[in-house]
């Protein structure tokens, strides 16, 4: 049994005989000098060293056992991420573990001259090991066999830097045994047999700051914190970019950081500012991109087009569906191209089904699109993307709100597959996650003169706002879209925006503003003869009068709304109209009749599987039952409502439920239970900065003192 647990290095094997020539083994050490300012990557370096040491030692085994399979380690990442620097650092730390030699070869996988061939490299490696025979075989496989014989049983570390693909690496792999292989590549190389993958990501903020401090002095960069923040943001955690910035600042001691920060601010020429001498971030990106664009491989060329067109869209975040829309291809083709770009480290996938471009790569992609894609194709791609989002948002809102009337559909060809939602909570969650992109899309639509898309995006956030109205995000999007609609004299857009503005104000109890927009919207839709829209607006007017305490006017408007819905045969909206009638009766003091209406509405909503509206109706039923003196039934209804709100991750609705339950407990004399619910409500309101709820909750707690 060979015992490696003692750390004792076994004697080297005799020199192998190759052909008729006995060769003398050598122990070369070819690792390049390490980067003097190597900073950060402590976790990655420790993991890499552990993998290499494990390969060098291996577990103790009985005589005759087969050696462990070779597990090459691949450090992958985008250009400039610091793969070579990390590999060199790790190789130097494990030098003593590989007494038979440390070999290094730059495979030039992404150089302008093309990758080096394994055939030629094998000749060099055999020579480096002192194992080259007098007559070197012409066949690559025969050379690979000689190399494996030369390395067999020896502890050799082979560092293969800048590999193009797995095919370039496989012939260079040693046999099973105590040798190790460390590969760096811009491609993932997951297809290598037995591979250990170590993808590199941008440096953490603390590592970025530490690196720049080492390069140009902590005192200098600490004097201008605002400019420093801009510089770090521009570099995006890319070590190459940070080294260029550090070098420029060091060589220009009179420069304030603010000057460089201005040059690095987002603009079409920013990449050209990230260059110093012969080193440039753009050149590094060129190597990765041109390798797939000019490969002659159809899937890689399709991926190169995908990369270019991704650059026309900011904030550079995509699903497969939105990317398919941008590209004008089926989802399967978009998914294949995106995954190829992930493998090439030109795109990353932060979560399943989501893709993003590093900020600098996004800017580079935009430059490639501007140079290589005709302007009409770039414009068409943007319109396809905007149209897809407008249709997706409207579809999500229709499910989340169960509203019977949506804006008329956009003209033009159908979009690729839209997101598939099975329940309202899923639709709301999708919209919440996509909100930054939707905001960008509204502005983008306005800039290209597509008011019809902009207002549909903004009004389509209604479903999301049923649970997230308190954030103010919907108000901001509506204001932005209204400015666009007014500027383009878009009458239909203004009508729908007034309608949605009224809802946004009503949710926030801004009653006067709500009524102002409702009257404007009613005028537009009455002139257009749209009965369903009139029914909805009258129902909303009833709700406003209920909020302001005018039960009689609320009942009149609610019943007019109900009649218009019935005249339009809109069964799905009947529940909404009946709920308005119930609220008006509650306000007028007929709590028993109100409870009867609420129960009818709840039965209808359970059939429709409408979570948000059901929770609201259960809460309202609880209020009616409280006023009727039925404590147990009131709390049962409100407890179910609270469960629905929490399940839907709806902080505003949850706070409403907690407040209603606190009032119910207090009504029946249970002050401690009321206090507990108010405190839960306050904690939630403070956590989400819900100002209105904070004020109401503190008033409720004060009343208990």
68-95 pLDDT, tens digit per residue, is: 678 899 999 999 999 999 999 999 999 9
Higher pLDDT, residue 177 or 283: 283
Report the pLDDT averaged over residues 378-385.
Answer: 95
Q: What pLDDT, on a 0 to 100 scale, did the predictor assign at position 519?
A: 95
Instruction: Provide the residue ranges of all domains of the chain, joining segments of one domain with +.
Output: 17-199, 205-277, 283-373, 490-588, 601-705
Give Dmax (Cα) for the chain: 110
pLDDT beyond 90 at 461: yes
Q: What pLDDT, on a 0 to 100 scale, did the predictor assign at position 570?
A: 64
**Residue 148: CA atoms inside 13 Å, Cβ hemisphere, count?**
15
Both tokens assigned to 116: 């080096």
Quote the radius of gyration of the chain (alpha carbons, Å): 33
Q: How confident is the model at residue 111 (pLDDT cuts 50, 70, 90)?
A: confident
Q: What pLDDT, on a 0 to 100 scale, did the predictor assign at position 269?
A: 78
Answering whether pTM is above 0.85, one says no
User: E strands, 154-260, where?
Assistant: 157-163, 180-185, 196-199
Distance CA 370, CA 571 (A): 51
Regarding beta strands 157-163 and 180-185, do their DSSP bridges make them parallel or antiparallel, or are they unpaired? parallel
601-705: CATH class: mainly alpha
Q: Which distant-in-sequence residues (6+ apart) come within 8 Å of 584 by Cβ?
A: 542, 545, 546, 551, 552, 554, 555, 558
Which residue, 173, 207, 211, is CA-closest to 189?
Answer: 173
pLDDT beyond 70 at 503: yes
Which of 250-254, 305-309, 464-468, 539-543 is least confident? Answer: 464-468
Higher pLDDT, residue 400 or 219: 219
Which of 87-91, 134-138, 383-387, 670-674 is least confident? Answer: 134-138
Q: How confident is the model at residue 12 (pLDDT cuts 50, 70, 90)?
A: very low
In our burial notation (b when 16+ CB lie closer than 10 A, e otherwise), range 154-193 reads bbbbbbbbbbbbbebbebbbbbbbbbbbbbbbbbbbeebe
Q: Which residue has the tokens 């110093």?
A: 276
Report the pLDDT averaged over residues 544-571.
Answer: 89
Q: Which distant-in-sequence residues (6+ apart) come within 8 Å of 579 by Cβ?
A: 597, 598, 601, 613, 616, 617, 620
Report the pLDDT averaged over residues 342-363.
Answer: 92
Q: Which residue has the tokens 């025969």?
A: 142
Distance CA 655, CA 648 (A): 13
The length of the chain in residues reads 705
Which of 192-206, 411-425, 491-505, 671-685 is least confident? Answer: 411-425
Regarding beta strands 317-319 and 348-351, do their DSSP bridges make them parallel or antiparallel, or are they unpaired? unpaired
Q: What pLDDT, on a 0 to 100 scale, did the predictor assign at position 565?
A: 87
Q: What pLDDT, on a 0 to 100 scale, did the predictor assign at position 399?
A: 84
Residue-wise pLDDT tens digits, 166-194: 999 999 999 888 999 999 999 999 999 89
Domain 490-588 listed as CATH 1.25.40.10: yes
Distance CA 637, CA 641 (A): 6
On whether the CB atoms of residues 234 and 257 are closer than 8 A, the answer is no
Provide the 10 A C-beta neighbour count for residue 18. 18
Q: What pLDDT, on a 0 to 100 scale, did the predictor assign at position 25?
A: 60
On whether the CB atoms of residues 134 and 21 are closer than 8 A, the answer is yes
Would you state the torsion angle of the CA atoms of residues 499, 505, 507, 510, taken in this order, to the nearest 10 degrees? -140
17-199: CATH class: alpha beta
Higher pLDDT, residue 65 or 123: 123
Report the pLDDT averaged over residues 341-351.
Answer: 93
Two domains, one topology: 490-588 and 601-705 = yes
pLDDT beyond 80 at 211: yes
pLDDT beyond 80 at 537: yes
Options 1.10.10.10, 3.40.50.150, 3.40.190.10, 3.30.470.20; CATH for 283-373 is: 1.10.10.10
Distance CA 393, CA 595 (A): 35
Percent of the chain with pLDDT over 90: 73
Q: What pLDDT, on a 0 to 100 scale, did the predictor assign at position 34?
A: 79
- Local structure of residue 276 (DSSP, 8 states): E
pLDDT beyond 50 at 334: yes
Report the pLDDT averaged over residues 373-379.
Answer: 96
Residue-wise pLDDT tens digits, 567-607: 877 666 788 889 999 999 999 999 999 999 999 999 988 88
Which residue(s) pair with 102 in the sheet? 29, 157
Regarding beta strands 21-22 and 17-18, do their DSSP bridges make them parallel or antiparallel, or are they unpaired? antiparallel
On whether the CB atoms of residues 406 and 394 are closer than 8 A, the answer is yes
Report the pLDDT averaged over residues 41-59.
Answer: 88
Q: What pLDDT, on a 0 to 100 scale, did the predictor assign at position 635?
A: 96
pLDDT beyond 70 at 210: yes
Both tokens assigned to 640: 């179910």
Report the pLDDT averaged over residues 285-300.
Answer: 94
Q: What is the mean pLDDT of the chain?
A: 89
Q: What pLDDT, on a 0 to 100 scale, did the predictor assign at position 468?
A: 85
């Amino acid at each position: 049994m060979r015992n490696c647990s003692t750390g004792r290095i076994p004697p080297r094997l005799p020199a192998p005989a190759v052909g008729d020539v006995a060769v003398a083994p050598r122990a070369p050490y070819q690792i390049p000098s390490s980067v003097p300012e190597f900073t950060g990557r402590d976790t990655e370096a420790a993991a890499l060293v552990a993998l290499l040491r494990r390969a060098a030692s291996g577990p103790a085994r009985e005589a005759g056992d087969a050696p462990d399979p070779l597990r090459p380690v691949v450090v992958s990442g985008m250009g400039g991420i610091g793969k070579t620097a990390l590999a060199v650092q790790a190789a130097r730390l494990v030098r003593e573990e590989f007494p038979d030699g440390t070999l290094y070869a730059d495979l030039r996988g992404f150089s302008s001259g093309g990758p080096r061939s394994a055939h030629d490299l094998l000749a060099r490696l055999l020579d480096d090991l002192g194992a080259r025979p007098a007559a070197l075989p012409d066949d690559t496989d025969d050379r690979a066999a000689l190399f494996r014989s030369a390395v067999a049983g020896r502890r050799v570390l082979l560092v293969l830097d800048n590999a193009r693909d797995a095919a370039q690496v496989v012939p260079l792999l040693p046999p099973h045994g105590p040798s190790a292989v460390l590969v760096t590549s811009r491609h993932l190389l997951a297809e290598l047999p037995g591979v250990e993958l170590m993808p590199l990501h941008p440096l953490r903020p603390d590592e970025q700051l530490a690196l720049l401090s080492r390069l140009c002095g902590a005192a200098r960069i600490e004097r201008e914190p605002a400019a420093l923040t801009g510089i770090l943001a521009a570099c995006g955690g890319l070590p190459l970019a940070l080294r260029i910035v550090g070098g420029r600042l060091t060589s220009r001691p009179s420069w304030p950081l603010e000057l460089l920060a201005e040059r690095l601010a987002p603009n079409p020429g920013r990449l050209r500012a990230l260059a110093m001498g012969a080193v440039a971030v753009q050149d590094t990106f060129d190597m990765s991109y041109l390798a797939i664009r000019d490969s002659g491989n159809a899937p890689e060329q399709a991926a190169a087009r995908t990369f270019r067109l991704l650059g026309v869209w900011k904030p550079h975040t995509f699903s497969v569906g939105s990317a398919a829309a941008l590209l004008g291809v089926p989802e399967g083709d978009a998914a294949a191209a995106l995954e190829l770009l992930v493998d090439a480290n030109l795109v990353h996938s932060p979560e399943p089904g989501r893709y993003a471009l590093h900020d600098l790569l996004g800017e580079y992609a935009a430059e490639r699109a501007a140079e290589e894609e005709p302007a009409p194709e770039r414009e068409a791609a943007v319109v396809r993307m905007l149209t897809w989002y407008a249709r997706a948002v409207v579809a999500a809102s229709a499910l989340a709100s169960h509203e019977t009337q949506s804006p008329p559909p956009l003209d033009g060809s159908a979009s690729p597959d839209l997101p598939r939602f099975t329940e309202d909570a899923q639709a709301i969650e999708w919209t919440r996650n996509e909100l930054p992109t939707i905001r960008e899309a509204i502005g983008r639509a306005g800039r290209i003169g597509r008011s019809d898309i902009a207002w549909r995006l903004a009004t389509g956030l209604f479903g999301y706002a049923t649970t997230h109205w308190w954030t103010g995000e919907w108000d901001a999007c509506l204001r932005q879209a209204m400015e666009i609609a007014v500027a383009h004299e878009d009458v239909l857009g203004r009508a729908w925006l007034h309608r949605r503005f009224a809802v946004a104000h009503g949710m926030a109890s801004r009653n006067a503003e709500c009524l102002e927009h409702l009257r404007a919207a009613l005028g537009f839709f009455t002139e257009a003869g749209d009965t369903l829209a009139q029914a909805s607006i009258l129902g909303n007017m009833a709700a406003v009068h209920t909020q302001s305490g005018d039960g009689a006017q609320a009942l009149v408007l609610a019943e007019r709304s109900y009649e218009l819905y019935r005249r339009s045969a809109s069964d799905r909206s009947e529940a909404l109209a009946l709920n308005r009638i119930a609220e008006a009766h509650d306000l007028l003091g007929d709590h028993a009749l109100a409870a009867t209406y609420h129960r009818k509405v709840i039965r209808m909503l359970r059939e429709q599987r409408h979570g948000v509206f059901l929770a609201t109706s259960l809460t309202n039923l609880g209020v009616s039952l409280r006023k009727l003196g039925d404590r147990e039934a009131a709390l049962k209804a409100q407890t179910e409502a609270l469960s629905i709100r929490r399940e839907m991750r709806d902080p505003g609705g949850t706070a409403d439920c907690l407040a209603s339950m606190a009032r119910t407990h207090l009504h029946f004399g249970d002050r401690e239970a009321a206090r507990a619910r108010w405190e839960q409500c306050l904690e939630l309101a403070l956590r989400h900065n819900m100002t209105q709820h904070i004020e109401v909750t503190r008033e409720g707690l004060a009343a208990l003192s």
